[in-house]
């Protein structure tokens, strides 16, 4: 098989090639490379050299059971946003104390489920702290604060600052203390998450400073979770550089060591990256079924609808795309095309008016950096089946790690 145009994915498919993988497992297909996943886990584990440091992988980015097992094997812990994530993480072998459940507007039943499983729990408002206290007086809890700064690739994923629903603002610390006292709760940790995808560490560091200042207000804290959001370069084909995590780690180290020395108590620092761990190990493969031109726009029609990868449709996100085919053909002509899926909405566009070497019917497309927020946001919209997931292990073999949905599954709950 051949690449048309540039590739950043030499060796990604191990001893396989994308054409064979699609023949074997069908299209579309998520493919993950184990080595890359493990490397990203190692990067994050080495972010700071402060010894009491835990990386909580944020499983919402990708909660495939097999990938979670690999991440656990790399020594990471996890966070969870729902009973479903707690359930899957326990199945993947994480022990309850390795899981931090970060609730947001949750019911008493949901809190009770989390308490029954024995995971650590963070609440996101004074009202929810009160609910927690009524259910579990005398318990241990984290509170999520909003440090007043935010960052992210799109306003929809900025989760800190003055325009978001998340966390408790620092001005309400006295109310937090009052509710803790009322229910005899012990505040063992505080956490924050300023948003998803920063390539510049400044806002992150500013958020950490505010959180550390909040920590000084409490004397029972054992854990400070400074959040995720570490970006990855989605524009690799244009030479975009990686986030310099050595540099960021160096600045965090200095901040944390100095702060802990002043504070004078043992503190465990946590981070919760999702995208950084899972994005780059994943490629979404799809097939080109039809080419057409409508009113001057050249459309490449594929099976890569927004039921499979939602990011371009809801955030206008860019993913680099590669072209794979069985045999060399002359595609040296560059064309501006719009790559669309098979869903009945005109917003079903994965790449809008982008230059590619000429694409032909029967070509395969590889959508890069699709490992995070790809499958985890996929749906059965239009009653389409969610794709299978395949892992390329470190020996270069392909393993099916999730079967494609079946038609029967569409009526299972009736």
Q: Which residues are catalytic?
A: 344
373 binds ligand LLP (CB under 6 A): yes
Residues of span 141-170 touching ligand LLP by CB under 6 A: 157, 159
Q: What is the total count of residues that contact ligand LLP (CB under 6 A)?
A: 21
Q: Please, which residue, 94 or 324, has the CB nearer to ligand LLP?
A: 94
226 binds ligand LLP (CB under 6 A): no
Give which of 109, 78, 106 is closest to 91, Cα–Cα. Answer: 78
CA–CA gap between residue 407 and residue 385 (Å, rounded) = 7
Residues 410 and 383: beta-carbon distance below 8 Å: yes
Smallest distance, ligand LLP to C-beta of residue 247, A: 18
DSSP element (H, E) containing 382: none
Cβ proximity to ligand LLP, 157 vs 300, nearer residue:
157
Quickly tell me which residue has 């994005």 as its tokens. 279
Name the token pair of 10: 């030499």
- Cα angle 117-41-188, degrees, rounded to a multiple of 5: 40
Q: How far is the CB of 61 from ligand LLP (least distance, A)?
A: 5
Question: Which of 28, 233, 274, 305 is the binder for ligand LLP (CB under 6 A)?
Answer: 274
Q: What mask of x and - would describe binding to ligand LLP in positions 7 to 36, judged by CB under 6 A?
A: ------------------------------
Could you say whether residue 89 binds ligand LLP (CB under 6 A)? no
- How many Cβ atoms from other residues are within 10 Å of residue 373's Cβ? 24
- 315 annotated to bind ligand: yes
Which residue in 120, 183, 236, 311 binds ligand LLP (CB under 6 A)? 311
Of 365, 386, 304, the closest CA to residue 64 belongs to 386
Shortest CB 191 distance to ligand LLP, Å: 7
- Name all contacts of 207-210 with Cβ < 8 Å and 24+ positions apart: 207/147, 207/149, 207/151, 207/160, 208/252, 208/255, 209/255, 210/145, 210/147, 210/148, 210/149, 210/170
Q: Determine if residue 137 is labeled as part of a ligand binding site.
A: no
| Three-state secondary structure call for residue 354 | strand
**In this chain, which of 61, 78, 151, 221 binds ligand LLP, going by CB under 6 A?**
61
Residue nearer to ligand LLP on the CB measure, 12 or 276: 276
**Nearer CB in complex with ligand LLP: 315/381:** 315
Task: Dump the DSSP string for 199-241.
Answer: SSSHHHHHHHHHHHHHHTT-S---EEE----B---S-GGGTPP
Where do contacts with ligand LLP occur on this chain (CB under 6 A)?
58, 61, 79, 102, 157, 159, 193, 196-197, 227-230, 272-276, 311, 315, 373
């Amino acid at each position: 098989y051949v690449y048309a145009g540039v590739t950043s994915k030499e060796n990604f498919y191990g001893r396989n090639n994308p054409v064979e993988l699609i023949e074997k497992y069908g299209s579309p297909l998520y493919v993950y490379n184990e080595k890359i996943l493990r490397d990203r886990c190692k990067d994050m584990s080495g972010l700071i050299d402060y010894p009491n440091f835990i990386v909580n992988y944020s499983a919402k980015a990708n909660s495939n059971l097999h990938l979670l097992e690999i991440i656990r094997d790399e020594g990471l812990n996890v966070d969870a946003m729902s009973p479903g994530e707690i359930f899957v993480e326990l199945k993947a072998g994480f022990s309850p104390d390795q899981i931090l459940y970060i609730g947001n507007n949750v019911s008493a039943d949901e809190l009770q489920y989390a308490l029954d499983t024995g995971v650590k729990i963070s609440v996101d408002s004074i009202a929810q702290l009160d609910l927690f206290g009524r259910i579990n007086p005398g318990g241990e809890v984290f509170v999520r604060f909003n440090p007043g700064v935010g960052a992210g690739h799109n306003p929809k994923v900025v989760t800190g600052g003055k325009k978001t629903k998340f966390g408790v603002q620092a001005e309400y610390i006295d109310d937090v203390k009052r509710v803790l006292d009322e229910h005899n709760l012990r505040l063992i940790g505080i956490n924050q998450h300023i948003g998803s995808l920063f390539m510049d560490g400044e806002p992150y560091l500013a958020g950490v400073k505010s959180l550390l200042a909040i920590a000084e207000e409490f004397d029972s804290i054992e854990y400070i979770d400074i959040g995720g959001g570490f970006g990855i370069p989605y524009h690799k084909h244009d030479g975009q550089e990686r986030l310099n995590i050595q540099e960021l780690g160096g600045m965090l180290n200095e901040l944390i060591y100095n702060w802990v020395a002043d504070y004078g108590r043992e503190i465990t620092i946590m981070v919760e990256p999702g995208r950084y761990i899972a994005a780059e190990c994943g490629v979404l493969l799809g097939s080109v079924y039809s080419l057409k031109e409508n009113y001057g726009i050249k459309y490449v029609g594929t099976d890569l609808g927004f039921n499979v990868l939602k990011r371009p449709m809801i955030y206008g996100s860019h993913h680099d795309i590669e072209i794979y085919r069985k045999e060399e053909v002359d595609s040296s002509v560059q064309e501006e095309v719009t790559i669309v899926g098979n869903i009945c909405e005109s917003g079903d566009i994965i790449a809008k008016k982008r230059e590619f070497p000429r694409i032909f019917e029967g070509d395969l497309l590889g959508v890069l950096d699709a490992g995070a927020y790809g499958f985890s946001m996929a749906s059965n919209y239009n009653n389409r089946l969610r794709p299978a997931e395949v892992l390329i292990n470190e020996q270069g073999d392909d393993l099916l790690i999730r079967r494609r949905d079946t038609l029967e599954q569409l009526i299972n709950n009736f």
